[in-house]
Amino acid sequence: MTDHQWNQLLKVLKGEVLTPMPVGFIIDSPWLPNWAGIKILDYFSNDDLWFNANKKAIDTFPTCMFLPGFWSELGMCTEPSAFGAPCRFPENEFPHAFPCIPNVEMIDSLQKPRTESDGLLSFVLNRLRLNRPRIEAMGHSIRFSVSRGPLNIAAHLMGTTEFLMAMMTDPDRIHKLLDIITDFLIDWHDLQMKTINTIDGILILDDLIGFIGTDQFMEFGMPYLKALYDRNVAVKFLHNDAQWQSSVEFLPEIGVNLFNMAFDASLNELKQLTKNKVAMLGNIPPRDVMAKGTTDHIKDAVTGLVTSLSDRSNVILSCGGGMPPEVTTQQIQAFVEAAGSI
């Protein structure tokens, strides 16, 4: 992000109303490589292709905030790989991490990974370190430390069904697992911030908090997220495009001040539930509108979203989730044009 974009983001988080309303998107490997004309595996394994794909998005849509911006990621594999999860990287499909904790008893001997060297973490961070000079030569800075969330990682290590069942059948071991993962993530975010001193934000992505009810969130989600967001940074960003009902009202208490949600939530309702203390990044339907809609359909959806708002503070226009595959340049341009004309 440029200094101007960062300052615009901070103004939104302070409740200022910007005209035109800002537009921002989460972009990563499900969309960016193929849009840029390369294969996903090439995007992951070649620094120049990764950098040029991100640069192309910035050059093509200069008024958009891209969050987190120059995201160094390996899909869902980054953090699970540090715990020993086997990972599969097809040539042009999204990578996948496979469970490595087949029974809850294995949690008793689980060790916290070393963030400096275990799994794929060092490759992810080294990409940012090596490319930082040319990112900054473009007038951009690396602003966010990034990770998947504790429940998301636990579900990859155990399998989603097995993890959710073990919450009910063996909660003590699940708490031990989440303690280890959270301590590991604190180390991981600390290392990112120590390595790159321009970081002043944290992004955590955890859809698994949308798979559980309020009581389960209060026990298995909130304490661990609260520990992660307990750091002195300006932007505390959460992505959860699964169900939001069990967790959203607690976001201010957790410390979150920017939220990217699913498309089926009312921004007015979310703002009310969070007492307008959390900025909303959303929430045009990513598949049915952004990917499948005509440019006129997209413009109508953006106009409808803006006109539906009770007030325009604390909102950055975006998808309800990350940018989906196969969205074209023309579709994004239609979104930006509509936002700029209201």
pLDDT digit string (tens) for 195-245?
999 999 999 999 999 999 999 999 999 999 999 999 999 999 999 999 999
Mean pLDDT score of the chain: 97
Please return the burial class of 176, using the count of CB atoms within 10 Å of its CB with bins 0-12, 13-18 and 19+.
middle
User: What are the pLDDT digits (tens) for 14-52?
Assistant: 999 999 999 999 999 999 999 999 999 999 999 999 999
d(CA 207, CA 194): 27
Domains parsed from the chain with CATH numbers: 3-340 (3.20.20.210)
User: What are the pLDDT digits (tens) for 122-133?
Assistant: 999 999 999 999
Q: What is the DSSP letter of 69?
A: S
pLDDT above 90 as % of the chain: 100
d(CA 83, CA 155): 12
d(CA 42, CA 303): 37
Residues 6+ apart with CB under 8 A from 192: 125, 128, 145, 146, 199
Residues 6+ apart with CB under 8 A from 304: none
User: What are the pLDDT digits (tens) for 253-293?
Assistant: 999 999 999 999 999 999 999 999 999 999 999 999 999 99
Q: Are 262 and 320 in contact (CB under 8 A)?
A: yes
pLDDT at residue 205, rounded to an integer: 98
Is the bond leading into 68 cis (omega within 30 degrees of zero)?
A: yes
Is the bond leading into 20 cis (omega within 30 degrees of zero)?
A: yes
pTM of the model as a whole: 0.97
Closest among 147, 211, 131 to 181, alpha carbons compared: 147
Q: Looking at the predicted structure, is the pLDDT value of residue 342 above 90?
A: no
Averaged pLDDT, 168-187 = 98
In the block, tokens 């967001």 appear at 229
pLDDT at residue 83, rounded to an integer: 98
User: What are the pLDDT digits (tens) for 54-109?
Assistant: 999 999 999 999 999 999 999 999 999 999 999 999 999 999 999 999 999 999 99
Element (H, E) at 332: helix 329-340
Structural tokens at position 232: 């002195």
